[in-house]
């Protein structure tokens, strides 16, 4: 087995062992201010498979974002890749659909927290058949996009959705 394959297996084992995925992201949009995001993501399967997300803005100044840019806002606000953990480690295709953002703006204050969910069955229609016999691994990546500044540093992670 190659070194790369061993590394990938080690990462998958580590991710599988984690019940919650937590990540911090730091960006310096204008070189002086520091804006931080903390995401805590849990997977649930009952009554349907969802990602349960706690979002915390821990920057030092207020920023404005479009509400649809929160991780659960619209489909393109967070990158998701789902793999069915069979012997073949099959990628589950994401349903393509139009998801228009709204013009609603949210001002994030330091320490402000939000909570939301992403219904995985709506985005990955064959996930249900996978979860009947197998766990699924969800890789996620999020990048906060303030209206008046450059995008923040990307935060990413992975979490297991247990079989039903």
Q: Would you state the structure tokens that stand for residue 43, as one six-digit string? A: 């997977």
CA 83 to CA 11: how far, in whole Å? 14
What pLDDT was estimated at residue 14?
Answer: 40
> What are the structural domains, with CATH classification, of the chain?
3-161 (2.60.40)
Size (the chain), residues: 164
Query: What pLDDT digit, counting tens, does each position of 61-71 carry?
Result: 899 999 999 99
Please give the torsion angle defined by the CA atoms of residues 129, 74, 108 and 34, in that order, rounded to the nearest 10 degrees.
Answer: 80
The arithmetic mean of pLDDT across residues 104-110, rounded, is 94
pTM: 0.77
Q: Which residue has the higher pLDDT, 116 or 14?
A: 116
Residue 158 pLDDT greater than 90, yes or no:
yes
Residue 102 pLDDT greater than 80, yes or no:
yes
Q: How far is CA 33 from CA 2, 38, 58, 70, 110, in A?
A: 43, 17, 12, 21, 12
Residue 1 pLDDT greater than 80, yes or no:
no
CA 95 to CA 46: how far, in whole Å? 21
How confident is residue 7, by pLDDT bands cut at 50, 70 and 90? very low
The arithmetic mean of pLDDT across residues 133-156, rounded, is 90
Q: Average pLDDT, whole number, for the chain?
A: 81
Residue 24 pLDDT greater than 60, yes or no:
no
CA 59 to CA 35: how far, in whole Å? 4
The arithmetic mean of pLDDT across residues 138-154, rounded, is 89
Instruction: Tell me phi and psi for residue 64, to 5 degrees.
Output: -110, 135
Peptide bond into 47 cis (omega under 30): yes
Q: Which of 18-27, 45-54, 89-98 has the highest mean pLDDT?
A: 45-54
The separation between CA 35 and the C-alpha centre of its own chain, rounded to angstroms, equals: 18
In the block, which residue shows the tokens 């991780």?
A: 71
CA 124 to CA 121: how far, in whole Å? 5
CA 40 to CA 157: how far, in whole Å? 10
What pLDDT was estimated at residue 2?
Answer: 56
How confident is residue 155, by pLDDT bands cut at 50, 70 and 90? confident
């Amino acid at each position: 087995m190659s070194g790369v394959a061993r590394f990938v297996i080690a990462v998958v084992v580590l991710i599988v062992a984690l019940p919650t995925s937590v990540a911090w992201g730091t960006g310096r949009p204008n070189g002086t201010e520091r804006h931080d995001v903390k995401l805590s993501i849990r997977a649930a399967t009952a009554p349907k498979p969802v990602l349960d997300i706690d979002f915390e803005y821990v920057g030092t100044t207020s920023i404005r974002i479009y509400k649809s840019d929160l991780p659960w806002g619209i489909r393109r606000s967070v990158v998701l890749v789902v793999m069915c953990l069979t012997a073949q480690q099959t990628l589950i295709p994401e349903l393509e659909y139009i998801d228009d953002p709204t013009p609603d703006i949210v001002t994030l204050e330091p320490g402000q927290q939000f909570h939301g969910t992403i219904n995985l069955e709506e985005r990955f229609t064959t996930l249900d058949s996978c979860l009947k016999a197998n766990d699924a691994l969800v890789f996620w990546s999020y990048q906060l996009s303030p209206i008046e500044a450059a995008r923040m540093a990307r935060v990413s992670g992975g979490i297991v959705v247990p079989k039903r």
